[in-house]
A and B are shown apart, each in its own frame.
Chain A
Amino acid sequence: MNAPASTALQQEIAQLIIDTLNLEDLTPADIPPEQPLFGQGLGLDSVDALELALALQKRYAIRIASDDKDARRHFATVASLAAFVETQQQAACAG
């Protein structure tokens, strides 16, 4: 495999996306860390984004402000979501 191996957190988030959004027949391997989740990539839409934000908040005990201007960037890919979750968790521990 030439693609960079995904981290444990990235795999976990890919699985969370599959479970939360009821993406039957897909496995985490079908959602590479750098593949865009919305639009031309996986094909998620705005309702999926809301659903996913809810699931991430529940699973990782983080807060995602609804007016966060960077949300679009955080939700771009599995990799960016994993980085966002890590940052939030570190911030929570430090605070």
Chain B
Amino acid sequence: MTAPTPANPADGLALRIEQWRAWAPGLEDVAAWQAWAAAPQMRPDAEQAQPACAFLPTMQRRRLSRLARMTMDVAWPLCGEHEQLPFVFGSRHGETPRTYALLGEIVDRQPLSPTQFGLSVHNAIAGQWSILRGQRGESVALAGEADTFEHAVLEGAMQLAAGASAALVVVAEESPHSAYADWITDVPFSYAVALRLGRVAPAEDAQDGSDWLLRLRSSAHAPAVPDAERCAWPHALDFLRALLVRESSLEHVWKTRQWNWQRTR
């Protein structure tokens, strides 16, 4: 065993996408995502469609929000029955609908729902994952800016660098209430993307999945990125698109951070 080497995103982080899974309204299997990746387009999201999560009994499903269901649906099959995996949950806006419901109750001078209150914190879904799957290892809940996806993958890569053989990264966002329309403009529709990250193994160890190098360049004095150069889709969905159409590289720029993805296998 060699000691894990320190990882620095400026040098580039090598990681393997061993498996992926995603959910959005009407996009629930690989074929549907392949079609979306070939021609990305908006998805209707007014009906509040959500994954059934039928793998959970009713009593375990009762406290899962829509965002939590989306997370469980995509993460569930990527973790083996008796496996312990570091878990990274990334969401820029988190449980905004729960918060909005609580604020409404405060305005109406109604007592707050203990369930809504207790589960409105950002790490609630990571906690529910831990309970439902008996996961006792590390878990992290992140909220960043439009590049929350890259920060979540970075965190997962750090878990690999710290010795984990694999890590689970989920990025999930839910369409916010219309009251937020003027402020939240980066969630075209609700979606969740789960990636099972693994270490890049020697080439002869050929198996499914793809290898990537993620590099971060930043400049404190970089000019603001024109809107036209910003990614049209949330980074997690755009990465999934690139993964599925087998693009060899892509760049996601946010403010002074330039995230460069290079496919190496």
Partner of B111, one of A23, A26, A54: A54
A54 in contact with B58 given A22-B63, A47-B118 (CB within 8 Å): no
Decide if B48 is an interface residue (CB 8 Å cutoff). Answer: no
Q: Which of A50-89 contact B (CB under 8 A)?
A: 50-51, 54, 57-58
Decide if A21 is an interface residue (CB 8 Å cutoff). Answer: yes
Report B114 CB to chain A, min CB distance, Å.
4
Partner of B62, one of A23, A57, A58: A23
Q: Check A51 against B114 for contact (C-beta < 8 Å).
A: yes
**What DSSP secondary structure best describes chain B's contact surface?**
helix
A-B contact count (CB 8 A): 26
Q: Which of A24-48 contact B (CB under 8 A)?
A: 24-26, 42-43, 47
Count of residues in B whose CB is under 8 Å from the partner chain: 11
Report A63 CB to chain B, min CB distance, Å.
12
Partner of B114, one of A26, A42, A43, A54: A54
Q: Check A43 against B59 for contact (C-beta < 8 Å).
A: yes
For A47, what are the chain B residues with a Cβ–Cβ distance below 8 Å?
114-115, 118
Q: Residue of B at shortest CB range from A22?
A: B62
Decide if B185 is an interface residue (CB 8 Å cutoff). Answer: no
Report A62 CB to chain B, min CB distance, Å.
14
Q: Which of A11-28 contact B (CB under 8 A)?
A: 21-26
Partner of A24, one of B61, B110, B111, B113: B61
Interface residues of A (CB under 8 A from B): 21-26, 42-43, 47, 50-51, 54, 57-58
Instruction: Pick the 6 closest A-B CB pairs, nearest first.
Output: A50-B114, A22-B62, A43-B59, A25-B58, A51-B115, A21-B62
Known contacts A21-B62, A42-B59, A51-B115; 13 additional CB pairs below 8 A are A22-B62, A23-B58, A23-B59, A24-B58, A25-B58, A26-B58, A43-B59, A47-B114, A51-B114, A54-B111, A54-B113, A54-B114, A57-B111
